Amino acid sequence: MSKLYFSENGHVVPTLCEELTTYRRARKVLRLPRTAEPGVLYVLARPYPDSTLPLQLAVNGAEVAAIEPDSSGRTHWYDVTLDESLLKPGANSFDFWTDATAMNHWSLAIEAGHADPESFITDDSGSTWRNEKMAYLNVLRGEYVVRMRLAEGEDPAPPAMVWEDPTNPRLESLRRIMPAQALKPGALLGRVRALTSWISSSWEHTNSVRAAQYAPWDAETILAWGAARSGHNGRRPIVMCVHYAVAFVTCCQAAGIPARCAVVWGTVNSNEGHFVAEVWFEEYGKWVMVDPNLDAILWKDGVPLSVTEVQQTDSDLRDLVEWGPGNEYQRRYPHMVEFIEEHFPLGLFIRQRSIWPRADFLSHPELSPPGHGSTAYCETSLVWETRDLQRGLGMFPHFGDSAYFDSPPRLDV
């Protein structure tokens, strides 16, 4: 057994993190139990592409081996194994800095919105510290995304699925713009296909390489911003695979169709990731993987496949996929053609899977993340498969077995 110790939810705004220098240093305090074994520290940080300086680290005042940069230029996870002698019961401080004098080598991820965080910043190399006016523009109060996994303790059980309130008036507003076929009684597959084809054809996939302003997890706003290619402050919004799935799942609930968001990943820190949906098909007694971004459902022997079944196939996914009309719309854009024809068939993006255990994005927008998919996956609410704990995902606290992932939806809770 082991337990992850953390004090944030991984709700990172990628464009507003903490820049580090030799003067501007960050401190994260984590409260830990007594430990008799080494622990693993997980740090979400970004080295500049041309950085040659390591990220320096001190644990309770003792300097340890620095974290070397890579050339990716992306925010992702770094893990450091720490000897138990460096740690103590109670408050432990982890200090981060670089030997640079300008903000051009490393940035540390931060989650805003904490009233009295145990994360601190200094501008004078550690003479004075504050836990407000943080991040590089000195406007946030938050917690740095730094976590610790120890052998002592046990992770909590994964949370139950939370659905949208069916009486929420925003669902009626959404129904007014949805395809009529999705709302009419009839075969579930036809209703699902009506939604995937509509959503897939509604806007151009725009990721964090092509835009910087993330669209909120609000279905009508996603549809509006995506179609207009303009959102908050007149900027082009990020509306990518995440947003197709979120809009689809919300529309499914408006139509009375059980659906949930599924996050899939190739390996830790890789670009091999995707965000799809799962729909409960009572006819087959299982959750079926649906890709509303590509308007795709995978089949074998006349039966639609679940995420687990897709993971287990040894076929090129092109042999299994059934494209809907929305896929032709997506193929208008070269970056999507590359994904559809070169990356999707290999299925590398689906080696690790999780679900988003909330679907009440309209009732509780404050619980949805502000930048998922723009950095390495980091949200603590994600529930991964139990085996993924041993496959590099120790920075997450929730893991479920097959019964958790395969159980039918309970819409009465």
Write the DSSP assignment of 128-187 as a string of letters: S-BSSSBTTTT-B-EEE-EEEEESSS-PPPPPPPBPPPTT-HHHHHHHTTS-HHHHSSS-
Would you call 308 exposed, middle or buried from its count of C-beta atoms within 10 A (0-12, 13-18, 19+)? middle
Q: What percent of the chain stands above pLDDT 90? A: 96
Q: Return the pLDDT at 394.
A: 98
pLDDT tens digits for 252-272? 999 999 999 999 999 899 889
Distance CA 322, CA 131 (A): 52
**Residue whose entry in the numeric block shows the structure tokens 């092109």:** 318
Q: What does the radius of gyration of the chain's CA atoms come to, in whole angstroms?
A: 22
Would you call 180 exposed, middle or buried from its count of C-beta atoms within 10 A (0-12, 13-18, 19+)? exposed
Q: Return the pLDDT at 411.
A: 63
**Mean pLDDT across 209-231:** 97
Distance CA 368, CA 161 (A): 14
Q: Return the pLDDT at 47.
A: 97
Domains and CATH numbers, the chain: 3-150 (2.60.120.1200), 169-406 (no CATH)
317, pLDDT greater than 60: yes
Instruction: Return mean pLDDT, the chain.
Output: 96
pLDDT tens digits for 87-133? 999 999 999 999 999 999 999 999 999 999 999 999 999 999 999 99
Q: Return the pLDDT at 211.
A: 93
pLDDT tens digits for 296-312? 999 999 999 999 999 99
pLDDT tens digits for 8-18? 999 999 999 99
Q: Return the pLDDT at 395.
A: 98
Q: Which helix (H) or strand (E) holds 335?
A: helix 334-338
Q: Return the pLDDT at 413.
A: 47
**Mean pLDDT across 39-51:** 97
Distance CA 79, CA 197 (A): 41
